[in-house]
Structure formats: C-alpha cells, structure tokens
C-alpha cells in the first residue's frame, strides 16, 4: 500500500484493471506535462535575457526541455536538451518511469505499464567490464556503431516500418544484446583489434534473438550476473521479462532481415545516408 501522505495523490491517478487498482503511468505523464508547461511559463520571463527555453513533446518520446543560451551572455553558444521523465523511486537507485505513447496511430501503452530504470546497476556493470576487459576493449564502440547504422538505415525506410524498426531496435534492446553477449565469451576477445569480428557477432546475436523472438531483460531475474554487480533483492527475485514480447513474429522477422541487410550493405549505407542531401533537418525547439 501507499504511505498515508501519498494516498490522496495516488488515488487520483489509479485505474482499475482485473479488479485491482493500479497507478496509471499515462495519467501521471499527462499531469506531469501539464505542470511542466505551467512551470515553464513561470521561469521563461526571468531567464529571457540569459537563454531561450522551450518544451517539445514528440510522439513516443518523453517531453524534452531545450535551453539555448543567448550569444551575448555566454562566450560559448552551446545549447542543451534535457529529457524530463516522471519517476517513482523503488529504493537502491531503481526507479519506475512513466512510458510515453508509442505514436499518434498506436494504441496507448497499458495504463499500469511502467518502465524500469536501473542506471546505477548499469554503471556498476560497466565499471566491472572496464576492470575485466582489455584496456582497448571495443564493446562500447560496437554499440555506438550499431546505433549509428540503425539510425542511418532508418533514413531510407518508409512508414509504418520505420517507426517499428526504431522500436524493435531501441537503444535499450541494443544495449541489452551487447551486455548479454559480453557475458557469454572471454572478454579478451573484445580487444580493439577484433572490432569488426565482434561487431559482426553482435549483429548475428541480435538477429538470432529477433528470429527466436526472445531477448530477456538483463537485470530482472538474471541469475548469471557477476557478483560485483550488486542487485536489490526484488530485482533478483523478479520474474524474467522478454523485451520482444510486445512485437509479433512477422515484424521481428522483417527486422531481422533488415538488420542483416544493413550489416551487409553497411559501407554503402554510410556513404549514402551520411551525405547532406539525405540528412533530415533537426526539429526546431
């Protein structure tokens, strides 16, 4: 149950599902976005001489705060974009995060569905990998390149598959595949000399996951984590979650085919979609 001081707030954002009351991520997110707009109006006037502030909300993404310093106020004209996500702390630096709708044409996420943020646990894992892997390990570079190939390939895809492509191969899915693959083999094999081989292994591993329609959450119910990555008990004992369960078989098969095609044609895709004529203009704040 909720603490007594939180009950009035929580009860106003609950929905009934299967005879039980659940906190609605959708209602919390709408309330949060409304408060952001009101707060933005309160601070924009005070800061107008220093910077320009705006708020954007794209379908399927959390609201983003854009901060653009005035050129005559700072020596470096550096802009900043900050994602703003309402979160509920569970303890041990683990949070539930409200999920935005997937898009204008998609049905909203189930009202009781929340995301899990375990950033501190990820940092512990990365620190452990840095200690165990070679000093010139290429695992982060592989992830960076694969994300870049995903984004470039998306430049040439038509809707609705373009949106599905980005959902299936989300950054979290790519990161989960990398973490899972790293724990399967010797870390010495990730030396920078073997960048191409390891990148191909990551692509093939991800393809197999898509074909099998299974990629398990890395922290929920994972008994094979290194002891150095201390997990809260409720994460260790949680039921395993398949990150690909929300997608149907044909969509995952199509994504697997497109992934391999992207890897085979990687040099051509990089040359073609990195040219200025194909780069999509950035959204105005």
**Is 109 in the same domain as 19?**
yes
Which of the listed residues 79, 113, 147 is the one where a domain comes to its end? 113
Secondary structure of the chain in HEC code, one letter for each residue: CCCHHHHHHHHCCEEEECCEEEECHHHHHHHHHHHHHHHHHHHHHHHCCCEEEEEECCCCCCCEEEEEECCCCCCCCCCEEEECCCEEEEECCEEEEECCCCCCCCCCCCCCCEEEECHHHHHHHHHHHHHHCCCCECHHHHHHHHHHHHHHHHCCCCCCHHHHHHHHCCHHHHHHHHHHHHCCCCHHHHEHHHHHHHHHHHHHHHHHHHHHCCCECCCCCCCCCCCCCCCCHHHHCCCCCECCCCCCHHHHHHHHHHHHHHHHCHHHHHHHHCCCCCCCCCCCC
Task: Tell me, yes or no, whether 182 and 146 share the same domain.
Answer: yes
Domain boundary (64, 91, 113) is at 113
Is pTM beyond 0.85? Reply is no
130 shares a domain with 50: no
Render pLDDT for 233-271 as a digit per residue (tens, 0 to 9): 888 888 999 999 989 999 999 999 999 999 999 888 888
Same domain as 254, residue 184: yes
Instruction: Mark whether 262 and 172 lie in a shared domain.
Output: yes
Q: Same domain for 150 and 59?
A: no
82 and 153 fall within a common domain: no
Are 1 and 105 within one domain? yes
What digits encode the pLDDT tens for the residues 170-189?
A: 999 999 999 999 999 899 99
pLDDT number for residue 141: 94
Each residue's pLDDT tens digit, 79-134: 788 888 888 888 888 998 887 755 434 444 466 678 889 999 999 999 999 999 99
Q: What is the pLDDT of residue 59?
A: 65
The answer, yes or no, to whether residue 138 has pLDDT greater than 90, is yes
Q: Do 237 and 182 belong to one domain?
A: yes
Choosing from 113, 129, 164, the residue where a domain stops is 113
Tell me: do 158 and 59 sit in the same domain. no
Q: Which domain holds residue 90?
A: 1-113
Counting the structural domains of the chain, the total is 2
């Amino acid at each position: 149950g909720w603490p007594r001081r939180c009950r009035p707030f929580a009860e106003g954002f609950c929905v009934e599902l299967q005879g039980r009351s659940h906190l609605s991520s959708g209602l919390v997110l709408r309330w949060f976005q409304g408060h952001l707009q009101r707060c933005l109006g309160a601070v924009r006037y005070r800061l107008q001489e220093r910077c320009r502030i705006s708020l954007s909300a794209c379908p399927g993404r959390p609201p983003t705060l854009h901060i653009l310093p005035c050129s005559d106020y700072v020596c470096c004209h550096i802009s900043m974009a900050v994602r703003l996500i309402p979160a509920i702390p569970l303890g041990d630096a683990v949070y539930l995060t409200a999920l935005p709708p997937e898009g204008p044409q998609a049905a909203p996420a189930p009202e009781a569905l929340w995301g899990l943020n375990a950033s501190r646990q990820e940092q512990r894992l990365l620190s452990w990998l840095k200690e165990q892997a070679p000093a010139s390990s290429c695992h982060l570079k592989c992830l960076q390149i694969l994300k870049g190939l995903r984004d470039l390939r998306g430049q040439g895809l038509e809707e609705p598959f373009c949106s599905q492509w980005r959902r299936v191969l989300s950054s979290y899915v790519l990161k989960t595949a990398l973490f899972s693959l790293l724990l399967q083999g010797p870390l010495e094999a990730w030396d920078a000399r073997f960048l191409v081989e390891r990148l191909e292994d990551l692509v093939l591993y991800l393809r197999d996951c898509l074909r099998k329609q299974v990629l398990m959450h890395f922290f929920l119910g994972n008994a094979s984590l290194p002891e150095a990555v201390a997990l809260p008990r409720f994460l260790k004992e949680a039921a395993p979650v398949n990150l690909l369960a929300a997608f149907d078989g044909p969509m995952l098969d199509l994504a697997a085919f497109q992934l391999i095609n992207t890897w085979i044609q990687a040099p051509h895709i990089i040359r073609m979609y990195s040219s200025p004529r194909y780069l999509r203009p950035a959204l105005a704040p």
